[in-house]
Structure 1
Amino acid sequence: MASTISLSQASLAAGIATSTLATFVALSPPHKNPTRAPPTGDFLRHVNATGGAFRALVFVPIGLLSLQTLILVIGAPLRLIAYASLGKNFTFELSKPDGLMTSGVYRWVQHPSYTGMAALVVGNAVLLARTDGVLASWVPRAWAGVFDGVVKSLAPLALGVFGWGLWTRVKQEEKMLRGEFGKKWEEWHKRTARFIPWIF
């Protein structure tokens, strides 16, 4: 008995494979730290929420499958552009850079890698944590309604924890950059959006 694969099944499989590859590449450290960074009060390092530990976290969806396209359209490329722009200065641990990057993507956005990471997290959650998608393979049909309610109830909490962690890291980086580059950083900070050009 031959089995047939529908177009929707094939597109879901292709989306998951592409999402997995793009997320792996975009959340893998582009460079090893040349030396162990001195203690800097780096909160995310202390709670082990960087590098491999971060990739193990699973966040729940906010419910719109169309957001999954952010993975390919915004998330992975934006993160990879940040890797390329900063070169060896892009590390997962908080460390002082050789200089202040204010050109390229950093001309418009101060933290493009975090914008890209947020797009990846939301996009993957929407794609992978839907009870009518991948989770349907693991959740018995009778539990789908209950599980869907739990997922939707926990989504704001999960996104809040992610947002708080991201904001904490951004403030620590900005404090370090202000201390390192002073007035040059302050001028760049005033004219450049943190995450989304001309908006935020």
Structure 2
Amino acid sequence: MSLILLVAFLTSTFSHLTSQIQHNASRMSVFQASLSVAILASTVGTYLGLLNPNPKPPQQPGDPDERHHHHHQKQAPPQQHADSIRWMLLTHKHTPKFVLLPLALLSLHLAALSYYHPHIPPSVLGHGAQNGLSASLTTWSASTLLPLSAIFLAGVPLRLGPYRSLGKNFTFHLTKPDQLKTTGIYSRVQHPSYTGVVVLVLSNVALLARLDGVLSCWVAPGWHEGLRAVQWVLGPVACCVFLLGVWTRVREEERMLRAEFGEKWERWHASTARFIPHVF
């Protein structure tokens, strides 16, 4: 339902922008319109890439099948393995919604800034003029082309591809799969979905979280100056914490797979890259 509402909301916004383009074609750049659409589409793609394809079914105490299911899960070996993602509540069905709320808001605002550029109304610009909103983030440039390309060409495919390939075995909570997948993309790389999530997160940060970008329209000048003074410390620290979290989850998954599949996993692990073929 949340996905339907999101798509409907972004579709409505896209329809509005399209209508405005038709009525203001003489002063509206096609390039600016395409950037606005690309920004909105990247948000939809990011949401799809963060959505749990197999959320844990709700408990139904009166359902015999549910009782059998929970009894089986209780006895299953994978439940004994560490699962930091579940511990941090990142497997909760509502987590993607909370992640998306600020992302969608910033994306819609950046799409509007790009749409109106270079004649951005004060109501849309906010504090951007005082804080030095960069035109490189409201026009087609390396600052927008690179993160958008990474989202569309790497981030989204590397998430949705494994969703489809693994099917019911792709879960956010650590669960033993019914088989060790070693074909398709998994014949070349062990953790494509983690590569995808890193690309999605870092690309969206580059597009939406720069202090000379859409955030400059929201932050009061006094606070903006303070944030600029510490951004080169907070940014790398946040990035390291995120990457450490991903690495921790990868190691937990590998320990579980080694315990469950033994020598078969060892051979596959030794012959394929973790994240990037022939690189890492």
Shift of 1:41: 1.8
Cα contact 1:109–1:193 (8 A) shared by 2: yes
Q: Distance in 2 between matches of 1:69 and 1:151?
A: 25
Q: Distance in 2 between matches of 1:77 and 1:149?
A: 36
After TM superposition, the structure 1 = structure 2 runs for residues 115-130 of structure 1, keeping only pairs within 5 Å, are 115-130=195-210
Equivalenced residues, count: 196
Q: Distance in 1 between matches of 2:243 and 2:177?
A: 24
Structure 1 partner of 2:82: 41
Q: Distance in 2 between matches of 1:16 and 1:125?
A: 13
Q: Specify whether residues 55 and 76 from structure 1 end up closer, same or farther in structure 2 by C-alpha distance, changes over 3 A only.
A: farther
Q: Distance in 2 between matches of 1:150 and 1:6?
A: 36
Cα contact 1:178–1:186 (8 A) shared by 2: yes
Q: Looking at CA atoms only, which structure, 1 or 2, has the larger radius of gyration?
A: 2
| More helix per residue | 2
Q: Which runs of 5+ in 1 are unaligned?
A: none
**Equivalent in 34, 43, 50 of residue 27 of structure 1:** 50
TM-score by length of 2: 0.62
Structure 2 partner of 1:67: 147
**Bigger relative contact order, structure 1 or 2 (CA pairs below 8 A, ≥6 apart):** 1
Shift of 1:5: 5.2
- More off after superposition, 21-30 vs 31-40: 31-40
What root-mean-square deviation, in Å, do the aligned CA atoms of Structure 1 and Structure 2 show?
Answer: 2.7
Q: Which runs of 5+ in 2 are unaligned?
A: 1-22, 58-68, 74-78, 104-141
Which amino acid is 1:85 matched to?
S
Q: Specify whether residues 68 and 145 from structure 1 end up closer, same or farther in structure 2 by C-alpha distance, changes over 3 A only.
A: farther
Shift of 1:44: 1.5
Identity in percent: 47
Q: Specify whether residues 128 and 67 from structure 1 end up closer, same or farther in structure 2 by C-alpha distance, changes over 3 A only.
A: same
Cα contact 1:110–1:194 (8 A) shared by 2: yes
Structure 2 partner of 1:13: 36
Corresponding position: 1:53 with 2:95: yes
